């Protein structure tokens, strides 16, 4: 598999593109690519392009853009993950794996039992960091459209402004009577709500029910938040997405 690189801006068949700074050094010094070798580039709009390295310096790489083509790596099942923010690498892990598993949108939410506290400035920095994690996951996994990652928001506020109802609105709840695999077949879109390390409070579960969310479980065991995200997304994609 060719090296894949996300680049911002417009990509045009036959054009030349100059990569500078860390991205160029990554190609030349880390991957030790050479002039004449091919990589794959994408800009998040759908297609991807084959690009040939035309020149390399210590801090720049000149690419000749070839023909575009569709990668076919985006799932037909649109999953919106609303994830209670967990600490440090746990949240990074969720963003990375959710991207690899084809999630279309990730909304990080601040909850009553969550240990992470973010003001607006720190929240935006975290959003930018998670967006970078998602971009790297796209490069590795073959995706061409990074998921939309929203700025962190309090769960209660999100309930008041959430998008219109989709095919299935689900909240993972240990001990719930219904299994995730027993839901009606969604047509195109699912919204999945997962709590942080401490889970959701009673009030938050009540708010979710009022907002139209159905409680579902993943079986008899209580999973860590990052494990629950990977397991639930895998089930959704294997039953109704592109892992079937």
Average pLDDT over residues 38-54: 95
Inter-residue contact 174 to 222 (CB < 8 Å): yes
Beta bridge partners of 108: 83
pLDDT at position 88 over 90 = no
Inter-residue contact 42 to 77 (CB < 8 Å): no
Inter-residue contact 11 to 41 (CB < 8 Å): yes
pLDDT at position 114 over 90 = no
Instruction: Tell me what pLDDT residue 139 has.
Output: 96
Instruction: Tell me what pLDDT residue 116 has.
Output: 86
Average pLDDT over residues 140-155: 97
Instruction: Tell me what pLDDT residue 192 has.
Output: 98
Query: H or E element: which one contains 204?
Result: helix 202-210
Closest CA to 243 of 142, 136, 102: 102
Buried b (16+ CB within 10 A) or exposed e, 160-188: eebeeebbbbbbbbeebeeebeebeebee
Residue 87 pLDDT grade (very low, low, confident, very high; cuts 50, 70, 90): confident
Average pLDDT over residues 33-47: 95
pLDDT at position 117 over 90 = no
Of 207 and 116, more confident? 207
Instruction: Tell me what pLDDT residue 164 has.
Output: 79
Sketch out the chain's domains with CATH numbers.
Answer: 4-70 (2.40.240.20), 78-240 (3.40.1280.10)
Q: Is the dihedral of CA 149, 212, 102, 70 positive or negative?
A: negative
How far apart are alpha carbons 99 and 85 in whole angstroms?
16
pLDDT at position 123 over 80 = yes
pLDDT at position 132 over 80 = yes
Phi, psi dihedral angles at 85 (to 5 degrees): -70, 125
pLDDT at position 1 over 80 = no
Average pLDDT over residues 74-98: 95
How far apart are alpha carbons 234 and 4 in whole angstroms?
24
Residue 150 pLDDT grade (very low, low, confident, very high; cuts 50, 70, 90): very high
pLDDT per position as a tens digit, 174-208 = 999 999 999 999 988 999 999 999 899 999 999 99
> What percent of the chain clears pLDDT 70, i.e. is strictly above it?
100
Average pLDDT over residues 161-173: 91
> What percent of the chain clears pLDDT 90, i.e. is strictly above it?
86
Sorted by sequence, the CB contacts under 8 Å of residue 76 that are 6+ apart come out as 188, 241, 242
Average pLDDT over residues 47-72: 94
Token pair belonging to 119: 């003001």
Is 53 exposed, middle or buried (CB count within 10 Å of its CB: 0-12, 13-18, 19+)?
buried
Mean pLDDT score of the chain: 94
Residue 5 pLDDT grade (very low, low, confident, very high; cuts 50, 70, 90): very high
């Amino acid at each position: 598999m060719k090296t894949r690189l996300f680049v911002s801006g417009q990509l045009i068949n036959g054009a030349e593109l100059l990569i500078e700074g860390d991205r160029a050094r990554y190609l030349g010094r880390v991957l030790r690519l050479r002039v004449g070798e091919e990589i794959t580039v994408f800009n998040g709009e759908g297609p991807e392009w084959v690009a040939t390295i035309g020149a390399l310096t210590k801090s720049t790489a000149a690419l000749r853009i070839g023909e575009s083509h569709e990668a076919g790596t985006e799932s037909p099942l649109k999953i919106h993950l609303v994830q209670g923010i967990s600490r440090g690498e746990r949240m990074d892990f969720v963003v990375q794996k959710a991207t690899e598993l084809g999630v279309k949108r990730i909304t990080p939410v601040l909850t009553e039992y969550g240990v992470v506290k973010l003001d607006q400035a720190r929240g935006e920095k975290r959003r930018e960091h998670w967006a970078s994690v998602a971009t790297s996951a796209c490069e590795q996994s073959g995706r061409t459209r990074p998921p939309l990652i929203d700025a962190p928001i309090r769960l209660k506020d999100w309930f008041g402004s959430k998008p219109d109802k989709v095919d299935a609105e689900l909240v993972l709840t240990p001990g719930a009577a219904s299994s995730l695999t027993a839901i009606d077949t969604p047509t195109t879109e699912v919204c999945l709500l997962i709590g942080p390390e401490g889970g959701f409070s009673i009030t938050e579960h009540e708010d979710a029910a009022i907002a139209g969310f159905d409680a579902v479980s993943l079986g008899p065991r209580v999973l860590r938040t990052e494990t629950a995200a990977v397991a639930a997304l895998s089930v959704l994609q294997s039953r109704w997405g592109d892992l079937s």
